[in-house]
Amino acid sequence: MSGGPGPDDVRDRPERWEVTGEETVFTGHVFGVRRDTVVMPRGEGTEGVGRDVIVHPGSVGILALDEHDRVLLLRQYRHPVAYLLWEAPAGLRDVAGEPLHKLAERELLEEAGYRADRWDTLVDVFPSSGMSDERVRIFLARGLTEVPAAEIDFERVHEEADMPVVWVPLEEAVRKVLAGEVHNMIATVGILAAHAARADGFGGLRPVDAPEG
């Protein structure tokens, strides 16, 4: 059919439908829940519809790739899904005003014990846009150097108390994602995006401080 959107129109854009009411339902340590009344179309008119929104500070993830095209993954217990998951390093946007790439540098150091010389923006995602306002920026980190544990001022406790690190060849990591062996959102999206970006030598990646849009 002609007259509708085409491939060139496929670009997410900000939009805000009218909200006639907001109610705070829950406030937790990391996230809260807000109930909005949103004006939505129905037939020839509109109606106010309740929508619960998980209010989240956002996060960053790091797809670390070494000189042998291996991906750094670490294992962490995730209570909500009752799994030990292989994940990419990640962290909450919990310091007001902190540049996202600086947060990513800190999380890579604290969780995995590495620094990187080269940072690029790999991909931006809304991991659960039907219920949460969380947004995640995943960075590609290269030029990696391991940092001695004595130089890292961070205590790993609770879920982070025992996080073994494994280097997985990128091609094998892709296979594991497609085989359903790796489930973590940041890891799966980051692995597939890095594999796609490698096709042109990572030339299409955005700079580390690119706006999120």
Amino acid at 93: R
Which pLDDT score is estimated for 103? Answer: 96
Going by C-alpha positions, the residue among 58, 19, 188 that lies closest to residue 136 is: 58
Of the listed 160, 171, 172, 212, which one is catalytic? Answer: 160
Q: Is pTM, for the whole model, over 0.75?
A: yes
Cα angle value 198/74/104 (rounded, 5°): 65
Q: How far apart are the first and last CA of the chain?
A: 30
C-beta of residue 39 within 8 angstroms of C-beta of residue 47: yes
- Of how many residues is the chain composed? 213
Which pLDDT score is estimated for 2? Answer: 64
Q: Which two tokens stand for residue 87?
A: 């994940």
- Indicate the helix (H) or strand (E) that contains 191: helix 185-197
Reply yes or no on whether 160 is catalytic: yes
Going by C-alpha positions, the residue among 181, 150, 10 that lies closest to residue 85 is: 181
- Pick out the chain residues at pLDDT < 70: 1-2, 154-161
Non-local CB neighbours of 46 within 8 Å, separated by 6+ positions: 39, 40
User: Distance (Å, rounded) from C-alpha 202 to C-alpha 118?
Assistant: 12
Backbone region of residue 82 per phi and psi (left: phi > 0; alpha: psi in -120 to 50; beta: other values): left
pLDDT per residue over 128-185, tens digit each? 999 999 999 999 999 999 998 777 776 654 455 578 999 999 999 999 999 999 999 9
pLDDT per residue over 146-155, tens digit each? 998 777 776 6
Can you say how many angstroms the Cα of residue 33 is from the centroid of all Cα atoms in its chain? 20
User: Is residue 177 helix, strand or coil?
Assistant: helix
Which pLDDT score is estimated for 25? Answer: 94
Do strands 19-27 and 32-42 pair parallel, antiparallel, or not at all (unpaired)? Answer: antiparallel
User: Distance (Å, rounded) from C-alpha 29 to C-alpha 42?
Assistant: 37
